[in-house]
Amino acid sequence: MLKKFKNLSATKKALIILLIVFVIILFETFLLMLRFNRLNKLKPEVIGVSFSQIQAERYGSNWQQNYIDVLDGLGFKQLRLPAYWNRIEPTEGSFDFTELDWMINEASKRDAKVTVVVGQKNIRYPECFYPDWINTKDTEATSKSAVKYVEEVAKRYKDNPTVNKWQLENEFILKAFGECPKNMLTGKQLKKELDALKSIDNTRPILISQSDQYGFPVQGPFGDIFGFSMYKWSWKKEIGYYKYPQNGVYFWWKAGIISALKNQEIKIHELQAEAWGPRGNEYLDYAEAMRSMNPKQFAENIEYARQTRIREFDLWGAEWWWHLKQQGQNEMWDIVKNLINDSNIANK
């Protein structure tokens, strides 16, 4: 056999070696998938939800009532809440935590837990929510102000038992989406903010989501939890509606590798449960919205998430479900309610 191999051309030898290496890597990653499944299969499933007062306002909604209904009407016990820089520090050095304090206090009354998302890049479009006084062209000054802002938010909630996790930035390294200054979206800046957050509170796990569902962490920096988003249906001007081809097993493979090689817990920080069309959801009529999200697609997305063997995921779309309900369209609200009720019963 060895003699035959020696007689092969250099090209054929190289191809055989590459094939052997590929098979070895494939086998190793399969073992990592099994490891990930073994570590996670006995953990309870935790289904949380993201909520943005800014997004609720875009529907013309009473965002406080929307939030209370998410807690009482749907029964969520895990929430992901944004600390929007422009809402909390509208004037340099002057901090107003009124909105976030209220949301966290209401969660506390219902024994719910909160992940606070802090940083320059936060949830919902346009993603970066800089105060008007910030000049993002001045990279050094913006960097220092961002670090100071992270520190102030951490100081505010480091002793609050309702806050059980931090998320530092949101898909920070992703530069292809949102209206953000690319000079600020660097690994170096993320490291500064991570060090600042840890200097104030090193007791809670920190989630970092470097990119979207295609992202794969290489250089870091890393927190304690790696998060990625999962979508099925999207829309782009160039092609219209399109469906992402990956299935949940792909994300299981990805999670297994990241978990083992980067020593990370894994979470789906954003699971699609709302429409994505040619305009913002607040401008989509009901028929158009149902093209990319409806009860059937929602159920498929839940199964999609469960295929990954990841046991914690946050749904995306609470403001939209509530808006639909106000218009007399209860389908999405009801299917989410049934899911959360079943989950809460199963985890008791």
Q: What is the mean pLDDT of residues 207-213?
A: 79
CA gap 340, 317 in Å, rounded = 14
Which CATH number fits the domain that encloses residue 331? 3.20.20.80
Residue closest to 132 by CA, chosen among 180, 184, 86, 181:
86
Most confident of 160-169, 170-179, 242-251, 256-265: 160-169
DSSP string, 276-320: --SS-GGG--HHHHTTT--HHHHHHHHHHHHTTT--EEEEE-HHH
**Does residue 306 lie in a domain region?**
yes
**pLDDT on residue 336:** 98
**Does residue 145 lie in a domain region?**
yes
**Does residue 32 lie in a domain region?**
no
**Does residue 179 lie in a domain region?**
yes
Crossing angle for the helix pair 295-306 and 331-346, to the nearest 10 degrees: 30
Q: Is 76 strand, coil or helix?
A: coil
CA gap 255, 31 in Å, rounded = 12
Asked whether 337 and 294 are in contact (CB, 8 A), the reply is no
**Does residue 247 lie in a domain region?**
yes
**Does residue 110 lie in a domain region?**
yes
Q: What is the mean pLDDT of residues 192-213?
A: 92
Rg of the chain, C-alpha, whole Å: 22
Residue closest to 65 by CA, chosen among 322, 342, 333:
322
CA distances from 189 to 5, 103, 141, 151, 174 (A): 51, 29, 12, 14, 14
Average pLDDT, the chain: 93
**pLDDT on residue 173:** 85
Percent of the chain with pLDDT over 70: 95
Asked whether 252 and 36 are in contact (CB, 8 A), the reply is yes
Residue closest to 123 by CA, chosen among 194, 164, 70, 177:
177
**Does residue 16 lie in a domain region?**
no
Top-confidence residue, 13 or 326: 326
**pLDDT on residue 212:** 66
Q: What is the pLDDT of residues 143-156, one digit of tens each?
A: 999 999 999 999 99
Asked whether 316 and 82 are in contact (CB, 8 A), the reply is no
Q: What is the mean pLDDT of residues 253-257?
A: 95
pLDDT above 90 for 138: yes
**pLDDT band at residue 2 using 50, 70 and 90 as cut-offs:** low
Q: What is the pLDDT of residues 317-342, one digit of tens each?
A: 999 999 999 999 999 999 999 999 98
**pTM of the model as a whole:** 0.94
pLDDT above 80 for 4: no
**pLDDT on residue 174:** 84
Number of domains in the chain: 1
**pLDDT on residue 16:** 80
- Name the residue range of residue 269's domain: 43-346
**Does residue 127 lie in a domain region?**
yes
Q: What is the pLDDT of residues 61-71, one digit of tens each?
A: 899 999 999 99
Q: What is the pLDDT of residues 29-39, one digit of tens each?
A: 999 999 999 99
